[in-house]
């Protein structure tokens, strides 16, 4: 059996595996797609100490670093269930069962898509999901934020300090964000809020050049010219496959303590799949290292 089995090969999983392997213990990593969300990222400018890089380039260095240690990398393998018997038993979709004394889950998350024409085609060409990451790329431009919940309004406030103008599009007749956020938003001069509107299309050929929406009460179709669209309608953790094996929040995030432990002894979690409040590469890496040290601590006591 493994001493530490990591499920997920994004920044959290890679970091957890390296920290475990450096303790000289048997470490494996199972990933549906090594690199995770970083593979889908164009420009990265907030990975501290590296001024600018690209997702695939960072993933290549991650892979090289992981391969420098005796870590079993099982890429293109999807975990389908986890059970704790004497040891943890992780079942893969191909039917194989891997056994381990401890497990670190780092299966990350995915942004919810609006599923309108233009979204997939213009991803990274003006369609963005992370204001902390991509906001500065739109300095002086006009952008829209789709979604009027807390994350949408936080994004709009954040972007308003960087871009020329922000239009918020909310499907419902009212914003769902906390009142303090709404008050802050309403105090800003360069924000327009459109309620009760349905996004119909994100337009553009090489890059985003506008957004088309329908006013739901009048059914009138309108178009605004702009250069960026931030989709902020939720981040979904990739934890459905765990069902009730571990405690999760209402939206499916794995609940962890300061050492990254879950409610099951020997089971740890790190990165975007947990209930940690901010989702960034550097935070996920720290979280993976933390959970790995937590797992090592568990192993020497059991």
Name, in order, each residue with C-beta under 8 angstroms of 208's C-beta and a sequence gap of 6 or more.
118, 122, 125, 126, 127, 202, 226, 227, 228, 229
Cβ(269)–Cβ(106) under 8 Å? yes
Q: 3-state DSSP helix/strand/coil percent for the chain, to nearest 5?
A: 25, 30, 40
Least Å from the CB of residue 279 to ligand FAD: 4
Q: Which is nearer to ligand FAD, 90 or 197 (CB)?
A: 90
Using the rule CB under 6 A, which residue among 5, 11, 153, 208 binds ligand FAD?
A: 11
Q: Is 109 flagged in the annotation as binding?
A: no
Report if residue 296 touches ligand FAD, rule: CB under 6 A: no
Q: Is 152 annotated as a binding residue?
A: yes
Token output for 288: 């993976």
151 is an interface residue for ligand FAD by CB under 6 A: no
Tell which residue, 140, 184, 138, 147, has the closest CA to residue 167. 147
Q: Which of residues 176-215 bind ligand FAD (CB under 6 A)?
A: none
Residue 252 CB neighbours (<10 A): 15
Please name the residue that has the structure tokens 């934890």: 239
Q: Which region among 129-137, 150-158, 164-172, 174-182 touches ligand FAD (by CB under 6 A)?
A: 129-137
Q: How far is the CB of 79 from ligand FAD (least distance, A)?
A: 4
Per rule CB under 6 A, is residue 133 in the interface with ligand FAD? yes
Q: Does 108 bind ligand FAD (CB under 6 A)?
A: yes
What would the x/- binding string for ligand FAD be over residues 65 to 104, using CB under 6 A? -------------xx-------------------------
Question: Which of 268, 248, 272 is CA-nearest to residue 16?
Answer: 268
Binder among 30, 103, 144, 254 for ligand FAD (CB under 6 A): 30
Contacts of ligand FAD in 236-275 (CB under 6 A): 238, 241, 271-272
Residue number, 191 or 202, with CB nearest to ligand FAD: 202
Please check if 154 is assigned to a binding site: yes
* Interacting residue with ligand FAD among 6, 21, 58, 109 (CB under 6 A): 109
CB of 197 or CB of 270, closer to ligand FAD: 270
Question: How far lies 5's CA from each of 23, 30, 96, 167, 282, in Å?
Answer: 14, 8, 14, 45, 21
Q: What's the CA gap between 290 and 297, in Å, rounded?
A: 11
291 labeled binding residue = no
- Give which of 92, 86, 90 is closest to 103, Cα–Cα: 90
Q: Number of C-alpha atoms within 13 angstroms, CB side, residue 137?
A: 21
Q: Which residues touch 100 (CB under 8 Å, ≥6 apart)?
A: 1, 2, 3, 4, 5, 28, 87, 88, 90
Provide, rounded to whole angstroms, the least separation between the CB of residue 226 and ligand FAD.
19
Distance CA 232, CA 149 (A): 8
Numbered residues of the known binding site: 3-18, 142-156, 262-272
| Binding stretches for ligand FAD (CB under 6 A) | 7-13, 30-34, 36-38, 40-41, 44, 46, 78-79, 106-109, 111, 129-130, 133, 238, 241, 271-272, 279-282, 284
Numbered residues of the known binding site for NAD(+): 142-156
């Amino acid at each position: 059996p493994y001493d530490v089995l990591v499920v997920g090969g994004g920044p959290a999983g890679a970091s957890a595996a390296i920290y475990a392997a450096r303790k000289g213990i048997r470490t494996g990593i199972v990933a549906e797609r090594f690199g995770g969300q970083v593979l889908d990222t164009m420009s990265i400018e907030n990975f501290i100490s590296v001024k600018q890089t690209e997702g695939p380039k960072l993933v290549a260095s991650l892979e090289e670093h992981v391969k420098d240690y005796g870590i079993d990398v099982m890429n293109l393998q999807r975990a389908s269930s986890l059970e704790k018997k004497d040891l943890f038993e992780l079942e893969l979709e191909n039917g194989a069962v891997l056994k381990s004394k401890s497990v670190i889950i780092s299966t990350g998350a995915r942004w919810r898509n609006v599923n309108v024409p233009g979204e997939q085609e213009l991803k990274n060409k003006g369609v963005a999901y992370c204001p902390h990451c991509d906001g500065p790329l739109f300095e002086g431009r006009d952008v829209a934020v789709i979604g009027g919940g807390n994350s949408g309004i936080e994004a709009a406030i954040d972007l308003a300090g960087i871009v020329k103008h922000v239009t918020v599009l909310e499907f419902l007749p009212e914003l769902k964000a906390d009142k303090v956020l709404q008050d802050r938003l309403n105090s800003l001069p360069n924000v327009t809020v459109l309620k009760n509107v349905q996004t119909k299309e994100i337009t553009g050929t090489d890059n985003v050049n506008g957004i088309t929406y329908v006013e739901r009460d009048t059914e009138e179709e309108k178009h605004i010219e702009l250069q960026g669209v931030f989709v902020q309608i939720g981040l979904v953790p990739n934890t459905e496959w765990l069902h009730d094996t571990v405690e999760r929040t209402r939206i499916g995030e794995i609940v962890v303590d300061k050492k990254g432990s879950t409610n099951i002894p020997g089971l740890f979690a790190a990165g975007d799949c947990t209930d940690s409040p901010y989702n960034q590469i550097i935070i996920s890496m720290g979280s993976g290292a933390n959970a790995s040290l937590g797992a090592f601590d568990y192993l020497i006591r059991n």
